[in-house]
Amino acid sequence: MNQEITVFGKTFVPFIDRHKIQQRISEIATQINQDYEGEEPLLIGILNGSFIFAADLFRGLTINASISFVKLASYKGTTSTGNVVTAIGLDENLQGRHVIIVEDIIDTGKTLSAFIPEIYQRGPASVKIATFLTKPSALKYDVKADYTAFEIENKFVLGYGLDYDGIGRNIPDLYQLK
């Protein structure tokens, strides 16, 4: 993992290698196993970016847990509230469920701040957030993750599910814009 890679003319350098990623995810899985002992949480992964992280995190769980995925569609609103985010494919009954939202990265927090009220409307017993990455210095909305694999600086990253214009999600390590 000492090679630079180029995507659409932009150069990315190695940032966090796959072993460190897997190590950190197993720590989070262990924490979730303890926190939800005796419960059956429902993980909700947000597509597309979270699918790799969600798969690895889910495999680390030894408690009884379920997983589902949603895709978020944002519409340019004509009201002062701006974009409205709607979940596609959220057909699970969340009444009384312990929900863990799984995200690839919290950047400004806009996506999750719009999505979380929609989850609460469905009457879950609890809602927590697990994210692979956070960029604390980019945060603009009131969103706080309960489980974070890595806090990173405000630079664009690629790999491990995260893309640059659709490319790079399959790279097992995390790269950073040079």
**Catalytic annotation, residues:** 107
d(CA 13, CA 33): 34
Stretch 87-106 residues interacting with ligand IMP (CB under 6 A): 103-106
Site for Mg ion (CB under 5 A): which residue of 41, 49, 124, 168?
49
Q: Which is nearer to Mg ion, 39 or 146 (CB)?
A: 146
d(CA 132, CA 13) in angstroms, rounded, equals: 19
Number of other CB atoms surrounding residue 156 within 10 Å = 13
Residue 108 CA to residue 43 CA, distance in Å, equals 22
- Compute the distance between CA of residue 88 and CA of residue 170 in angstroms, rounded to an integer: 24
Q: Does 49 bind ligand IMP (CB under 6 A)?
A: yes
Nearer to ligand IMP, 27 or 153 (CB): 153
Provide the minimum distance between the beta carbon of 169 and Mg ion in the complex, in angstroms, as a whole number.
10
CB of 95 to ligand IMP, least distance (A): 27
Q: CA-CA distance, 25 to 66, in Å (whole number)?
A: 18
Does position 108 bind ligand IMP by CB under 6 A?
Answer: yes
Strands 10-16 and 126-134: unpaired
106 is in the binding site of which of Mg ion, ligand IMP, none (Cβ under 5 to 8 A by kind)? ligand IMP
The answer to whether 28 contacts ligand IMP (rule: CB under 6 A) is: no
For residue 65, what are its two tokens?
Answer: 């847990």
Cβ burial of 17 (10 Å; 0-12, 13-18, 19+) is middle
173 contacts ligand IMP (rule: CB under 6 A): no
The residues that touch ligand IMP, with contacts defined as CB under 6 A, are 49, 103-111, 156-157, 162
The residues that touch Mg ion, with contacts defined as CB under 5 A, are 49, 104
